[in-house]
Amino acid sequence: MRKVLMVAIGAVVLAAAVLILVWRPGDEQALVDVPPARTVAPEPQAPADSRYVAPLPTLPSDSPFGRDLLDGEPLETPGSPPDPSIAPPDETDDPGVPETQPETRPDTLEGPLEDALEDSLDEPQPTGPTNISGAFFNDLAQRIVAGYHPPKSEFNPQARGRLQFQFSALNRRYGMDLVGLDHQSGSLVQGREEIFRNLLQPEILDNVWALFVPVFEQSLDEALRTARWSFPAASPEERGLTIQEQQEFYRLLSGSAAALAQAVQSYADHQNAPALMERWFQAQTKAYAAHSRYQVAETELLTAQEEAPDDQVRILAERLERDAAAQGIMQAIAAREQARRELLEIFAAGRSRPDLSESELVYLAEWLYRRIHAHPERIQAIRHMADKLRELSLRLNPGS
316 and 390 in a single domain? The answer is no
In a domain, residue 318? The reply is yes
pLDDT of residue 176: 92
In the chain, how long is the greatest CA-to-CA distance? 172
236 and 383 in a single domain? The answer is yes
231 and 152 in a single domain? The answer is yes
User: The whole model's pTM is what?
Assistant: 0.65
CA dihedral over 106, 108, 112, 116, signed as positive or negative: positive
In a domain, residue 161? The reply is yes
- First CA to last CA across the chain, in angstroms? 120
259 and 381 in a single domain? The answer is yes
Residue pLDDT tens, the chain, 400 long: 555 445 455 554 455 544 444 444 444 444 444 444 433 444 444 344 332 333 333 334 433 333 332 333 333 333 444 444 334 434 444 444 444 444 444 444 444 444 444 444 444 444 457 899 999 999 999 999 999 999 999 999 999 999 998 888 899 999 999 999 999 999 999 999 999 999 999 999 999 999 999 999 999 999 999 999 999 887 778 999 999 999 999 999 999 999 999 999 999 999 999 999 999 999 999 999 999 999 999 999 999 999 999 999 999 999 999 999 999 999 999 999 999 999 999 998 766 678 889 999 999 999 999 999 999 999 999 999 999 999 999 999 987 6
Round to whole Å and give the CA distance between 30 and 312. 136
Domain total of the chain: 2
223 and 306 in a single domain? The answer is no
3-state DSSP call for residue 149? Answer: strand
311 and 209 in a single domain? The answer is no
183 and 241 in a single domain? The answer is yes
230 and 256 in a single domain? The answer is yes
298 and 159 in a single domain? The answer is no
Structural domain range at position 239? 134-270+374-396
168 and 233 in a single domain? The answer is yes
In a domain, residue 18? The reply is no
158 and 263 in a single domain? The answer is yes
Round to whole Å and give the CA distance between 277 and 116. 54
240 and 177 in a single domain? The answer is yes
In a domain, residue 332? The reply is yes
Q: Is residue 129 within 8 Å of 199, Cβ to Cβ?
A: yes
In a domain, residue 173? The reply is yes
Count of positions (residues) in the chain: 400
| Count helices and strands in the chain by DSSP H and E runs | 11, 4
In a domain, residue 365? The reply is no
In a domain, residue 69? The reply is no
